[in-house]
Amino acid sequence: MHWADVIADEIIGKCDRPLISTGISPTGFIHVGSLREAITAEAVRSAIESKGSDVKMIYLIDSIDPLRKRYGFLDESFENHVGKPICRIPCPCGKHDTYADHFIQPFLEAKDGLGVKCEIIWTHELYEQGKFADAIDAAIVRREKVIEILTEVSQKEKNENYAPYNPLCPKCGRFVKQADFDSYVRPYLRYRCEKCGHEGTADITKGDGKLTWRLEWPAKWKIFSVSAEPFGKDHAAAGGSYDTGVRIVREIFDGEPPRPIPYEFVQLKGKGQMHKSTGSSVTGIDAISMTPPEVLTYTFLRVNPERHIDYDSEMGILDMADEYDRMETFFFEGGAAESDENALRAYELSKHNNIPKKMPLHIPYRHLVNVVQMADDIGGVLEILKRNGDFDNATDDDLARLKQRVVCVRFWLNGFAPEAVKFSVSKTMPDVKLSDDESSYLRSLVPLLSASEWNAEKIHNIVSDAGKNSKIGTKGGFQALYKVLIDRTSGPRLGHFLATMEKDFVIRRLSL
Ligand SMILES: [Zn+2]
Ligand SMILES: [Zn+2]
């Protein structure tokens, strides 16, 4: 059985109205691993939904988390904002309301494409609405018990001064590490800011401070009655924040922990992991922009969350797309091996219970990479595909899928694709030197191609046979063709490549 179904069955057995929780702390560029979290959560949601249960998913944006340091991508002015909550720091580009908005916005735009169906919740608003008040109250009143639990579970030295709640100083805008917990009378807590000396009173029912991470997490479980939650394996380590959270939610907040779904990190593989124009490494947004969303989702769901995934932003993208298309074919036409059972279910889940009625039209992804490079826009792509009969009987859904894939291919070509796959067809004869043998080979093709049907197989046979019978051989013949067409000595598979061009154009180019 697919892992998402195993988890779904377990959750349905325990709760009537399951709630999946996931989230992110948008303090910087969204990493590919964060996508795995969202996709994992969505798969469990889809699996529960497919079994007829009423399921909900929430996505918590930890917008009150402090900026921990000035990251390399921030200019010097951000030095002054370290320690402040990211919902109160200006956006780096000037176009968004806050720092948190700046980094989460691209993800929010991408999430619909990924089909993640969730309610977005901003954590700073939960504090402002007083949703955390009971948890903050319990954590302060029972602070000694909290300290005892944290010490026992994490096996660290006891910290008598542990502060479960950090007031937010209105004067310097930073979190205050200590507070006068003896002064606490609900809802007020007195403190003195270590940074600026301001003395104040925090109201726990307003956005005047926040719980520390080890308490905030289980407090969310209690507030939303979370049934299941995926999280990075670092939180799952023995004595880590999941373990302390389990005891805190039960013993301090009188709630139950969610079914944990720890997931392994996504490793970036290959040389091309740096964006060629920006010089930064692959972000989650890059991954969504260059991998068709259903392909990315399928790739993540095919393996158990506890196994690591290599994400190769060079040729790996093409392999991922081929594998997805292969499984889609099996799904509609049968022929999958028994060992493909989980992969087939991963395909279904990647469609979020919304599977097309008939097999979508497949344009092999590698072929599309070539076609995109021969066309200026989607109109040009369609013209080439129609010329070859590759887009006959296409539906609106097929066209939508093609458009999205073309956008992904272009993003990939502009940022991450290896040089070897890139080419451009020279509109006029490139300035190349041809030997007499090469010239006569190319000229010999003119009458043969003119008389031939214009399809990949026929063209391939003509150019390779003519090469075999010439002085330069098949390989030399191919090189001569690449030279006059794309000013290189290698390129896409020739039969297909020539077939995607207009016959007259090719004949003219070879009539030396
Ligand atoms: Zn911005
Ligand atoms: Zn202060």
Quote the CA–CA distance of 359 and 397 in Å, as a whole number: 11
Whether 267-420 shares its CATH topology with 436-510 is answered yes
Cα(96) to ligand 2 centroid in Å equals 26
The token duo for 249 is: 């939610």
Instruction: Read off the tokens for 349.
Output: 């889940």
Query: What DSSP string runs through 169-226?
Result: -TTT--B-S--EEEEEETTEEEEE-TTT--EEEEETTTTSEEE-HHHHHHHHHHHHT-
Q: Considering every ligand atom shown, identify the ligand nearest to the alpha carbon of residue 170 and give its number.
A: 2
CA of 131 to the centre of ligand 2 (A): 25
The DSSP secondary structure of 369-416, one letter per residue, reads HHHHHH-SSHHHHHHHHHHTTTTTT--HHHHHHHHHHHHHHHHHHHHT
Nearest alpha carbon to residue 299 among 327, 331, 275, 262? 327
CB-based contacts of 481, cutoff 8 Å, min separation 6: 442, 463, 494, 498
Nearest ligand to the CA atom of 195: 2
Q: Where are the domains of the chain?
A: 3-132+214-262, 155-211, 267-420, 436-510
CA of 167 to the centre of ligand 1 (A): 27
Q: Residue 42: phi, psi to the nearest 5?
A: -65, -35
Compute the distance between CA of residue 53 and CA of residue 309 in angstroms, rounded to an integer: 30
Q: How far apart are CA 354 and CA 333, in angstroms?
A: 18
Contact 499/492 with Cβ under 8 angstroms? no
Task: Say which ligand is closest to the CA of 166.
Answer: 2
pLDDT digits (tens, 9 = 90+) for 401-431: 999 999 999 999 998 998 889 999 988 999 9
Residue-wise pLDDT for 172-200, tens only, equals 999 999 999 999 999 999 999 999 999 99
CATH class belonging to 267-420: mainly alpha
- Of 369, 416, 410, the residue nearest 272 (C-alpha): 416
Closest listed ligand to the CA of 175: 2
- pLDDT exceeding 70 applies to what percent of the chain? 98
- How many residues does this entry show for the chain? 512
CATH architecture of 436-510: Orthogonal Bundle (1.10)
**Ligand number with the minimum distance to the CA of 93:** 1
Mean pLDDT, the chain, as a whole number?
94
Between the CA of 95 and the centroid of ligand 1 the distance, in Å, is 5
Cβ atoms of 206 and 133 closer than 8 Å? no
Instruction: Output the CA–CA distances (angstroms, integers) from residue 234 to 65, 150, 238, 239, 241, in the order listed.
Output: 18, 17, 9, 11, 9
Question: What amino acid is encoded at 487 in this protein?
Answer: D
Beta-strand pair 56-61/19-24: parallel
Nearest ligand to the CA atom of 200 = 2
Token output for 114? 């990924």
Check residue 273 and give its pLDDT.
Answer: 60
Ligand 1 centroid to 101 CA: how many Å?
A: 7
Report pLDDT digits (tens) over 364-407.
999 999 999 999 999 999 999 998 888 988 999 999 999 999 99
Looking at residue 274, what is its pLDDT?
61
Ligand number nearest to the C-alpha of 197: 2
- CATH node for 3-132+214-262: 3.40.50.620
- What b-and-e string marks burial along 428-445, b requiring 16 or more CB atoms within 10 Å of the CB? eeeeeeeeeebeebbebb
Distance of CA 97 from the midpoint of ligand 1 (Å) = 7
With 80 as the cut, is the pLDDT of residue 86 above it?
Answer: yes
298/346 Cα distance (integer angstroms): 6
pLDDT in tens, 197-249: 999 999 999 999 999 999 999 999 999 999 999 999 999 999 999 999 999 99
| Residues ≥6 apart with Cβ < 8 Å to 41 | 20, 21, 22, 57, 116, 118, 229, 230, 261
DSSP line for 220-266:
HHHHHT--EEEEEHHHHSTTSHHHHHHHHHHHTS---PPEEEEEPPE
Question: What residues pair up with 261 in beta bridges, in sequence order?
Answer: 230
SS3 call for 351: coil
| Cα 121 to middle of ligand 1, angstroms | 20
Q: What are 131-161's pLDDT values in tens digits? A: 999 999 999 999 999 999 999 999 999 999 9
